[in-house]
Amino acid sequence: MHIPDNYLSPATCGVMITAMAPIWTVSVLKVKAQIKTKKETVPLIGVAAALAFLIMMFNLPIPGGTTAHAVGGALLAVLLGPWAACLALSLTLLLQALLFGDGGVLAFGANAFNMAVIMPFVGYACFQIGQRLHHEKIGLAVGAYLGINLAALTAGIELGLQPLLAHTSTGVALYCPYGLKITIPAMLTAHLLIAGWVEVLFSVFVYQFIKKAAPTTLYQAPATAKSFKVFYGLLIGLIVLSPLGLLASGTAWGEWNNHELAQRLHTAAPAGMTHGFHFNALFSDYAIHGLSLPLGYILSAVTAVLIFAVAMRVLQHEH
């Protein structure tokens, strides 16, 4: 699930980082509110990030002798609250990228979006629905499964869009070489079949222990109905906006002809390219139609920020 560097174009990375900025800001604000009731929340985020790190590095056995690992996004959201979980997971991903070689440095924004936003928020939403129906554990299980699979789907989309977003004029992909037709099934099968269930078992068993051993330590959602609405609105907004952010950067390149490009990817590259040292043919005419690279980069980033600012404004009004 950790996307390494160079699989995403710098533009996508920029968009994802800019998309994360408002989410982190809101998380900090929400956590500040949380501190009023539970004062230990600030140090808890740091320590919980360490816990998340250990969860992600722990090899869980799966039938067949190999291992998988859980992310714990939904579980942490239930334990700490989704906002604190978002911050803790982001922190973990940052350290993993910088110091431990899991996930790319430039791809940090994308990884944070997939694992520190989608997973905890989807997981927590399902848990809350389960709680209302008096089946918390089922809610958490569904949330863990849905959360990790949605995150995998998003990662698949981010990767699969790359051949469309960044390619040479002859259609050779510059970053992730696989299109959506390959990345989405590849990411989803692994997670639907194995990683999703690992995540479910892990989350439910840990939750069960804590529920019995120390139920008071679980995160209590603020009881007002309004915050519920805001929370759901934001959740839906985030999910809708994630492909939009990418699309925005896509249109900025001035090209949006999926079928043709996808086909090109699957058919032969021009003979000159397969023969090694014709570097001129390969690289010199890397030019984006209509827009220069930095300009497109900046435009898409600003677009994402503005869209998020508008969304935030709408939500604020509701308050």
Partner 1 sequence: MITLDQLTYAYPSGLGLDKINLQIKRGEFVCFMGPNGCGKSTLFNILSGLKVASSGTYAFQQTTIDATYLKNAQQRQRLHQQIGVVFQNSDTQLFNLTVADEVAFGLRQLPLAEAEIERRVNDCLVLTGCRQLRERVPYHLSGGEKKRVALASVLALNPDVLILDEPLNGLTPAAQHEILALLTTLQQAGKTILIASHDYLQIKTSAHRFVVFNEQHQIAYDIDRTSLATKPELQKELALL
Partner 2 sequence: MSTKLPDWLTTSTPLPTGHQQRHFLAQNMQRLERLLQRFSQANDLARPPLKHFIAPQHKLLAVLGVILLLSLNQNILLLWLLLLGDLVILLLLPPIYLRQVLRQTAVTGAFAILLILPSLLLNANVALFAAKTLLILLNLNYYRTTTTFNQVITALQQLHCPNSVIFVVDITLIYLKMLGEFLLQLLQAVSLRTVGKSKHPYQMIGLLFGTLYLKTRDYALDLYAAMEARGFIGVYPAAPRTRQRDQLYLLLEVTVFCFLFLLGR
> What is the CA angle 291-302-179, rounded to 5?
60
Q: To the nearest whole angstrom, how small is the minimum distance from the Cβ of residue 295 to partner 1?
A: 51
Q: Which residues contact 123 (CB under 8 A, 6 or more apart)?
A: 73, 74, 75, 77, 78, 82, 140, 143, 144, 146, 147, 203
Q: Give residues 278-317 in contact with partner 1 (rule: CB under 8 A).
A: none
**Contact with partner 2 (CB under 8 A): which of 16, 86, 144, 173?**
173
| 258: helix, strand or coil | helix
Contacts with partner 2 in 188-217 (CB under 8 A)? Answer: 201-202, 204-206, 208-210, 213-214, 217
* CB of residue 303 to partner 1, shortest distance in Å: 50
Number of residues in contact with partner 2 under rule CB under 8 A: 73
Closest distance between partner 1 and the C-beta of residue 213, in Å? 5
At closest approach, how far in Å is the CB of 212 from partner 2?
Answer: 9
Decide if 46 contacts 91 (C-beta within 8 A).
yes
Closest listed residue to residue 246, CA positions, set 235, 258, 234: 258
Q: Return the structure tokens found at 307.
A: 């869209």
**Rule CB under 8 A: which of 210-269 touch partner 1?**
212-214
Piece of the chain touching partner 1 by CB under 8 A; list 76-84, 176-184, 206-214, 253-261: 206-214
Residue 180's binding partner among partner 1, partner 2, none (Cβ under 5 to 8 angstroms by kind) is: none
- As a whole number of angstroms, the distance between CA 150 and CA 157 comes to 10
Binding site for partner 1 (CB under 8 A): 209, 212-214
